[in-house]
Amino acid sequence: MTTNRPNAADKLREALRIIHGLTAGTGCTWLVGGSTGLMLQGVSLAALPRDLDLYADRTDALDIHCKLSAYAVDGQSENAGGLYRSLLSHYEIAGVPVELVGGFEVFAQDSEYKVEARDWAASWAERHDPDGAADAGSGGASLLLMPLAHELLFNVMRERADRYEAIAAHCRSVNPRRHQLALKSLLERQQISLPLRRRLERLLSCSGSE
C-alpha cells in the first residue's frame, strides 16, 4: 500500500498559503525571494528549493513576526556582519524552513544596496497565484515575488555565478524590456558603482556576455 506524501513543492505552496492567511488584511507587505521566488518565476534551478525566504521593510517585519510567532524557532535579531545587514528571524511552517529578512542591506563591490519591499510591491514585484503561475499583469494575484532585477543584482554582488547567469538568461528570454526597466529603476535608487552597473547592464543585453 502506498501513501501520497507531499513533495517539496507541495510543502512550499502550503507554507505560502499559511503565511498569506496569517498576514492577509494586516497591511503588512512581504515578498518571496531566494530560490523559491526564482522557481515561481520560471528561472532554471539545479535543484528544487526546500526553504523559503521572505523580504520586508523593517516595520512590516516586526508585525509579520508577531503573526508568525506560533511557528517561530527564534526571536528577531540584528544580523550585521560581512556583506549583509538585516533584522532576521526563522520559522518552521508546513515542514519548510522559513527566513524573514527585514530591512535587508548588502555592502559589496564598492556599492550599497537596500531592499525597498513596499516600493517594489507597488511597482516591479511579480504577482503569483498560489494555485497558478506567476503573472506580472494580474492585479488579482495574491502573492508578491521579488523582482528578478533584485535577484540579479544581489547574486552578482555576492558572486553567485550559478544563480545570476540563470537569472540573466531567463530575463533575456522572457519579457526582457520589463526586466531592463526594472533594473534601471532599481539602480537609480541605489548607491551602485559604475563597474557594477555596467556589468549588470551587459548581463541583460542581447549578447548576455560580461
126-160 pLDDT, tens digit per residue, is 988 766 544 444 344 479 999 999 999 999 999 99
Q: What values do phi and psi take at 164, rounded to 5?
A: -70, -30
Q: Is 42 within the bounds of a domain? A: yes
- Domain contains 140: yes
Distance separating alpha carbons of residues 16 and 12, to the nearest angstrom: 6
Q: In this model, does residue 96 exceed pLDDT 90? A: yes
Q: What is the mean pLDDT of residues 78-85?
A: 91
Note whether residue 193 is domain-resident. Answer: no
Q: What is the predicted pLDDT for the residue at 158?
A: 95
What domain range includes position 77?
8-147
Residue 29 lies in a domain: yes
Q: Is residue 190 part of a domain?
A: no
Domains in the chain: how many in total?
1
Band of residue 1 on the pLDDT scale cut at 50, 70, 90: very low
Q: What phi, psi does 107 have (nearest 5°)?
A: -125, 105
Amino acid (one-letter) located at 27: G
Residue 102 maps to a domain: yes
The region, left, alpha or beta by phi > 0 then psi within -120 to 50, assigned to residue 42 is left
Region 180-191: what's the mean pLDDT? 94
pLDDT of residue 2: 45
The mean pLDDT of 44-62, rounded to a whole number, is: 95
CATH number, domain with residue 18: 3.30.460.40
Nearest to 67 by CA among 23, 18, 25: 23
pLDDT mean over 70-75: 97
CB atoms within 10 A of CB 84: 17
Q: What is the DSSP letter of 56?
A: E
